[in-house]
Amino acid sequence: MSGKKEPPKSAREAALRALVRVEQDGAYLNLALPAFLSGLPADERALGVKLASGTIQHLNTIDWALNLFSKSSLHTFTPWVRNLLRLGIYQLLYLDRVPDYAVVDEAVRLARRYGHRGVAGLTNALLRRLAGEVSNLPWPDYNKEPAFYLSLRHSQPQWLVARMIERFGFPETEKWCLACNQKPPVSIRPNLLKIQPPQLIGKLKTEGIETVYSPLIPGMLRIESGIFPVASPSFKEGLFTIQGESSSLVAPLLSPRPGDTIADLCSAPGGKTTHLAELIGDEGRVYAVELHKTRLKLVEKASGRLGLKAIKPLLADGRTIGRKNLPVPSAVLVDAPCTGLGVIRRLPEIKWRRCEKDLIAMQSLQIELLGSAASILPRGGKLLYSVCTTEPEETEHVVEAFSREHSDFILEELPCRLPSVLQINLEQTHAVTLWPHRHNMDGFFIALWRKKS
């Protein structure tokens, strides 16, 4: 298996190497893949991204199909053989640009490099059998097994689909499944301390990046085409931040003003922290609290690139922030750790790494962080809670638990503070839940309290 020591020679080989990294090391594809693609032509890089991300996106359906045609159980294969077969099955099930025989031949070539002598024969036989039966796969009956059917047809975790059906019913759950498989836009937040959106649009155009205004969030831009934005001179000059549109809604809900002191208890990687600093005109103080040193460095790097002086990095546990004797803040943001199930269209690995019991584990941490934040707020202070998930255990149940234990905090109305285009299909009258299928945004939850005066 000498191929492991040499640079990948094709998009398929790069995708294979990245998939094995994701499986063995728990890496995220968007971080693991670029290193394997770096020496390939542009068209091969694009194909590599499509193959690797598509395989991760449809992993459960691919493994189901693999088990249908394999005489051996999936776990008996090495990671290299397992992911090599997954890549081939992804192409047979979801791509039609390359003929089936070419898919099989390429997989067999890789099998010779990454497996023992029998692997090439196994790969050839299994993929050829599946190629002949693609149109006759025994999909579950959607009337008898609706969650299993949607799970396989749209490649989502069955446990999560079952919860969505109970919540929304079959038709809307299918819309949710489809939306979670759509590629989201790359959006950027102009640094208004340095440049205005019209000027940034023009500057990026000279750098080969086409942008348009977001139809959802005033002032945000979407990348239409061109190089990835982190490679642009404008990014290095600190003229913008790459940030999801749902995430960009959070900081403005605190109505930050110049001179404010704000604590961000879970600040890394820094998108909301830097947004807060920009909104106070870099006049005041934003305490960027982070538990892990390596993650705090991400915040420091972002604030340095953007030229922000108001951010004060603080290596600390947000759950014990009261021991740090910070100056009394006017507001605290708790952008809490969560299951991340609202961003699976961006990071599809998440949906295969989470299970139902994770919801309660996260809930305990979230409630503890909110209680800690409440302890340092003065009368009239604001407490903002956000998570990139939509599950009740991490959203409504957290709000109910906190409000029950903190009667001196009043839940504020939020929907009316959103852009008008988003004030539809909202479930709550106070907090906000955003959905991929309803709002064309990442799944997100936001709640705001004010401490009684």
Which residues are annotated as catalytic? 388
**Calpha distance 284→125 (Å, rounded):** 66
Task: Quote the CA–CA distance of 106 and 401 in Å, as a whole number.
Answer: 55
Answer whether the bond into residue 269 is a cis peptide, omega within 30°: yes
Cα–Cα distance, 43 to 10 (Å, whole number): 10
The helix/strand count (H/E) of the chain reads as 19, 12
Which residues contact residue 63 at a Cβ distance below 8 angstroms, ignoring those fewer than 6 apart?
Answer: 74, 86
What one-character DSSP code corresponds to residue 440? S
Radius of gyration (C-alpha) of the chain in whole angstroms: 24
Phi, psi dihedrals of residue 86, rounded to the nearest 5°: -60, -45
What letter does residue 408 receive in the DSSP assignment?
Answer: T
CB 326 within 8 Å of CB 423: no
Total residues found in the chain within this entry: 453
Contact of 362 with 165, CB cutoff 8 Å? no
**266, 334 in Cβ contact below 8 A?**
yes
